[in-house]
Amino acid sequence: MELVIKETLEKLLDVLGAPYTAVKVVEENKGVYYVEIDTNNSSLLIGWHGENINAIQHVLKSLLWKQGVDSKSQVIVDVDGYKKRQEESVIRMAEKKAEQAISTQKTIKLPPMSAYFRRQVHLHLSNDAKYKDAVTTESDGEGKDRCIKIIPL
């Protein structure tokens, strides 16, 4: 599976004329593949607020599904660790807001974020021993305005 993802992404990047030095694929969990693109021009591949990297990820998933790759497999495309850093930042913010919700006993809304980051926040707060019995989370809103509410228990 890793080889299929790697070769498909390299072909896509070549067709796009996108500069890259290496593509690495690692299966982080069963059915979850993390793809790292190394490049000397990360801003071009990442784009404004990650728009280009998200588009590349979307096209890659579509190409993989057309090749018969299981649609339940999750493929996360990253460029020079951009998404990892973003995810860490979102998790830190969620933890701070969870602490605030616990101390004030009031529901706190996080800023709108992508489905991927909302899922990461839900999973982190529901699995972390410090927060799982103190708060619960709910998604709220529609489309690009969809966010997470952290609700104290």
CATH assignment at residue 94:
3.30.1370.50
Q: Give the dihedral sign, CA 9/15/20/22.
A: positive
Q: Which of 28, 58, 80 is the last residue of a domain?
A: 80
pLDDT score for 68? 82
CA separation for the pair 130, 132 (Å, rounded): 6
**With contact defined as beta carbons under 8 Å apart, do 131 and 120 qualify?**
no
Task: State residue 144's pLDDT score.
Answer: 85
User: What per-residue confidence (pLDDT) applies to 10?
Assistant: 96
Same domain assignment for residues 76 and 114: no
Q: Name the domain boundary from 80, 113, 141.
A: 80
Are residues 73 and 90 located together in one domain of the fold? Answer: no
The verdict on pTM exceeding 0.85 is no
The count of structural domains within the chain is 2
Per-residue pLDDT of the chain (153 residues; tens, 9 = 90+): 889 999 999 999 999 999 999 999 998 778 889 999 999 999 999 999 889 999 999 999 999 999 887 777 889 999 999 989 999 999 999 999 999 999 999 999 999 998 889 999 999 999 999 999 999 999 999 988 999 999 999
CA atoms 57, 60, 61, 62: torsion sign: positive
Residue 69's pLDDT is what?
78
**pLDDT at position 70, please?**
75
Do residues 73 and 135 share a domain?
A: no
Residue range(s) defining the domain that contains residue 109: 85-152
Contact status, residue 24 vs residue 35, Cβ threshold 8 Å: yes
104 and 145 assigned to the same domain: yes
Last residue of a domain, one of 80, 110, 127: 80
How many Cα neighbours within 13 Å face the side chain of 27?
Answer: 9
Q: What is the structure's pLDDT at 116? A: 84
Q: Which of 20, 26, 23 is nearest to 7 (CA)?
A: 23
Other C-beta atoms lying within 10 Å of the C-beta of residue 100: 13
